[in-house]
Amino acid sequence: MEEEEERKYKTLEGLPGVGPATARKLREIGFNTIESLATATIRELSAAGVGEKQAAKIIEEARDSITLQFVHADELLKMRENVARLKTGSRALDELLGGGLETQTITEFYGEYGSGKSQMCHQLCVNVQLPQDGGGLEAGALYIDTENTFRPERIVQMARHMDLDPTEVIKRIIYAQAYTSDHQILLIEKADKIIKENNIRLIVVDSLTADFRSEYIGRETLAERQQKLNKHMHRLFRLAQAFNSVAVVTNQVMSKPDAFFGDKVEAIGGHIVAHTSHTRVFLRRATRMNVRIGRLVSSPYLPEGERVFKITENGIEDIVEEDST
């Protein structure tokens, strides 16, 4: 046990083969913590000028430090007891999601404009700060905004309804606006230090594909766009795993002109986003103004289904009997 404790390095400089100069280079490309190095690739470290042999050793030491290893499935089941769930504010939607949004995974909300994607993200930023027995994770949130949709006034409104101190709630949300797809990628690459220092357990990217969609136009750019999206989402997944956090992305949709039955829209990003998002929820408006329908499109183990909820001044809420009369 003592030997294991000695191997748990606290800083990059503590790793064998990582001096001040190498540590500085690693931080410049977004590797600020042992956790992020443990899930890095040799190619990524080579970008900092680290030789392949040295990179392999650094990664190996980092992985040994956080005890990544092969395990039996029954051991994995016990390890998954550490997985927590974040409530949405709607019991019906939580039931659909198996109790809420799961940590160590990516949950994608996609839908048309006005379907409630950003409202959901705002609500989650408040809920994550609740105690665990109240549906939260007793932690802060990191919000990366690509469409200028984040409104602190909305956070204040939701916090007051939940009898929380709005000033304290706002303080625990770390915000960054991404101006381009490369800037968005960079923010996630640099996020590990922010997450660790601020006890972040919710990472939001709203929206995932907006900048990619506007910058990569034409079929000749599709391959490059998908490669960048793939790497971007895998980095986000690593952060969710390393810090036992909930990762949430919102996504735009496009029309399917050849669809005669079923959904007439589909999410942007194709198979790359579909495969990397562990849980996908399609949001759409109902006939009534404030009512929304959430459909679970895919999950590793939950059945597909739909639930109805509403968005009010208070935030995400359930439909009660008087609402339907």
Residues 106 and 233 reside in one and the same domain: yes
- Spatial separation of the C-alpha atoms in residues 201 and 234, rounded to whole Å: 17
Q: For residue 133, is it within any domain? A: yes
Query: Is residue 74 included in any domain, yes or no?
Result: no
Are 108 and 211 found together in one domain? yes
Is 70 part of any domain?
A: no
The β-bridge partners of 306 are 295
* Per-residue pLDDT, 260: 54
Cα 120 to Cα 67, 107, 126, 158, 241, distances in angstroms: 35, 12, 10, 11, 22
What's the burial of 251, exposed, middle or buried (CB within 10 Å: 0-12/13-18/19+)? Answer: buried
Q: What is the pLDDT at residue 2?
A: 39
Q: Is 71 inside a domain boundary?
A: no
Same domain, 55 and 130: no
Total structural domains within the chain: 2
The answer to whether position 275 is within a domain reads yes
**Per-residue pLDDT reduced to its tens digit, 43-95:** 888 877 888 888 899 988 888 876 556 778 887 777 678 899 999 999 999 99
Is residue 25 in some structural domain?
Answer: yes
Distance CA 285, CA 310 (A): 10
- Cα Rg of the chain (Å, integer): 21
- The answer to whether residue 83 is domain-embedded is yes
Question: What pTM, to 2 d.p., does this model score?
Answer: 0.80
Predicted local distance difference test score (pLDDT) of residue 169: 98
Question: Residue 6 CB: number of other CB atoms within 10 A?
Answer: 9
90 and 185 housed in the same domain: yes
Same domain as 116, residue 36: no
| Residue 177 and residue 101 share a domain | yes
Find how far residue 240's CA is from the centre of its chain. 7
Tell whether 122 and 227 lie within a shared domain. Answer: yes
Domain hosting residue 296, numbered range: 79-324
Q: Which of 196, 213, 219 is nearest to 250 (CA)?
A: 213
Per-residue pLDDT of the chain (325 residues; tens, 9 = 90+): 333 444 467 788 888 888 888 888 888 888 888 878 887 888 888 877 888 888 899 988 888 876 556 778 887 777 678 899 999 999 999 999 999 999 999 999 999 999 999 999 999 999 999 999 999 999 999 999 999 999 999 999 999 999 999 999 999 999 999 999 999 999 999 999 999 999 999 999 999 999 999 999 999 999 999 999 999 999 999 999 989 999 999 999 988 666 555 567 899 998 999 999 999 999 999 988 899 999 999 999 999 999 999 999 999 999 986 665 5
Q: Are residues 121 and 51 both part of a single domain?
A: no
Helix (H, G, I), strand (E, B) or coil at 41: coil
Q: Is 108 helix (H, G, I), strand (E, B) or coil?
A: strand
Q: Does some domain include residue 235?
A: yes
